[in-house]
């Protein structure tokens, strides 16, 4: 990352100004290299642990489940929490992030980030775009599932999960879910990134933060981030005004690795987005790249550890 070469007083003023926005001032350029490694033992359990519960919700005439990570201390006060929805990739399910006994590496990493004061306590919901009977679903159908999931999310899942657990949306009525979009993010890996782009295209009324990890948008065609970069970027851009929003109403934190199979299409898409007025690097678009990052959850956890504290800084980051 480039160093600031302006005089310290100006730099301080600039950093102070930027620090009042919700993203940390470290990423003044908006594009950054992810160089952090997971410190040894970082994904091991600590004493002050959150827990994971399963929630069942009615959808498409049946029932589906999602896993809900509740941070340490959830049972103590009555404060509401920001919500982050996190989608798995093709062929996976929620257990790539969470298991019910709360022992997954991501649970442990969230526990530690929160305990260290780097990440504010947040609730993380891991749903699935697959139908309950998923055995017959082939790769060709995944795209349609990631496109229809945003409607299931806002209509069927969010009203149930944000009513049961303390969100800023109170009774989780549609009006309150929309009114509290600033307290909510959606992210995902691979086909979960595609889901994230689809949530951006369809549901900006409900979300301010978007975290696509290692995946492009297939709204124009499969791998369209590469093969139809400008058209895909245009479609994303059009969805902003079309949903009554402005470029400063959202923040996209895209992240991937240079050795990832999604690098080429995702990078081409981001480059095409950056050419447009609606997407402003360092303002509403942040783009992290890990030199040796590959298409696997070991890197996904490193990306989440890098990104989530920038969206929801904890007490030690806010000081
Ligand atoms: C991408 C690269 C790979 C992407 C998805 C995949 C949505 C998914 C691969 C798989 O599930 O096998 O850019 O974007």
Mean pLDDT lowest for which of 2-6, 106-110, 112-116, 166-170?
2-6
Whether residue 14 has pLDDT greater than 70: no
Three-state SS sequence of 234-278:
HHHHHHHHHCCCCHHHCEEEEEEECCCCCHHHHHHHHHHHHCCCC
C-beta separation of 259 from 293 below 8 A: yes
Q: Does a structural domain hold residue 1?
A: no
209-213, strands of its sheet edge to edge: 31-33, 285-290, 251-257, 209-213, 184-189, 83-87, 123-126, 62-70, 51-59
307 has a pLDDT exceeding 90 = yes
- Nearest Cα residue to atom 6 of ligand 1: 190
Q: What is the CATH number of the domain that holds 49?
A: 3.40.50.1820
Give the model's pLDDT for residue 102: 82
Is 207 inside any structural domain?
A: yes
- Percent of all residues in the chain with a pLDDT value above 70, rounded to a whole number: 90
pLDDT at res. 5: 39
- 2 in a domain, yes or no? no
User: Is position 3 within any domain?
Assistant: no
Evaluate whether residue 284 is within a structural domain. yes
pLDDT in tens, 16-46: 444 344 455 445 568 999 998 999 999 999 9
Residue 4: the pLDDT is 36
The boundaries of the domain holding residue 102 are: 8-318
**Nearest partner of 245 among 286, 278, 212, judged by Cα:** 278
Residue 177 lies inside a defined structural domain of this protein: yes
CB 194 within 8 A of CB 213: no
Which residue has its alpha carbon closest to ligand 1 atom 3? 262
On whether the pTM is more than 0.85, the answer is yes
Q: Which two tokens stand for residue 220?
A: 């124009």
* Nearest atom within ligand 1 for CA of residue 197: 7
pLDDT band at 236 (very low <50, low <70, confident <90, very high): very high
Q: What is the mean pLDDT of the chain?
A: 91
Q: pLDDT (tens digit, 9 = 90+) per residue, 72-131? A: 999 998 999 999 999 999 999 999 999 998 889 999 999 999 999 999 999 999 999 999
**Domain assignment of residue 172, yes or no:** yes
Task: For ligand 1, atom 7, name the residue with the nearest CA.
Answer: 215
Q: How many domains does the chain have?
A: 1
Q: What is the pLDDT of residue 11?
A: 43
Query: pLDDT by residue (tens digit) across 238-288?
Result: 999 999 999 999 999 999 999 999 999 999 999 999 999 999 999 999 999
Residue 292 has pLDDT above 90, yes or no: yes
Q: Is residue 296 part of a domain?
A: yes
pLDDT band at 59 (very low <50, low <70, confident <90, very high): very high
**Where does ligand 1 bind, in terms of residues with CB under 6 Å?**
89-90, 190-191, 193-194, 215-216, 218, 261-262, 265-266
């Amino acid at each position: 990352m480039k160093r600031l070469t302006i005089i310290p007083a100006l730099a301080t003023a600039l950093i102070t100004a930027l620090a009042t926005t919700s993203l940390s001032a470290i990423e003044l350029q908006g594009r950054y290299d992810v160089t952090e490694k997971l410190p040894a033992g970082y994904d091991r359990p600590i004493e002050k642990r959150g827990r994971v519960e399963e929630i069942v919700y009615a959808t498409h005439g049946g029932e589906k489940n999602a896993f809900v990570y509740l941070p340490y201390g959830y049972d103590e006060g009555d404060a509401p929490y920001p919500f982050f929805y996190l989608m798995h990739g093709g062929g996976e399910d929620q257990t790539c992030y969470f298991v019910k006994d709360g022992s997954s590496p991501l649970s442990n990493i969230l526990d530690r980030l929160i305990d260290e004061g780097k990440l504010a306590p947040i609730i993380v919901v891991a749903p699935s775009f697959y139908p309950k009977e998923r055995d017959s679903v082939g790769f060709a159908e995944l795209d349609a599932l990631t496109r229809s999931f945003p409607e299931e999310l806002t209509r069927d899942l969010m009203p149930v999960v944000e009513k049961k657990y303390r969100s800023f949306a109170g009774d989780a009525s549609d009006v309150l879910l929309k009114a509290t979009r600033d307290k909510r993010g959606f992210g995902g890996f691979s086909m979960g990134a595609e889901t994230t782009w689809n949530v951006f295209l369809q549901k900006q009324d409900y979300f301010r933060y978007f975290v696509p990890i290692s995946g492009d948008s297939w709204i124009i065609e499969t791998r369209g981030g590469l093969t139809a970069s400008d058209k895909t970027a245009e479609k994303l851009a059009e969805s902003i005004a079309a949903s009554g929003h402005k470029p400063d109403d959202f923040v996209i934190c895209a992240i991937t690795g240079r050795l990832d199979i999604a690098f080429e299409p995702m990078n081409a898409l981001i480059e095409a987005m950056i050419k447009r007025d609606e997407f402003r690097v360092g303002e509403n678009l942040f783009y992290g790249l890990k030199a040796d990052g590959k298409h696997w959850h070991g890197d996904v956890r490193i990306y989440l550890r890098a990104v989530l504290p920038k969206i929801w800084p904890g007490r030690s980051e806010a000081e």
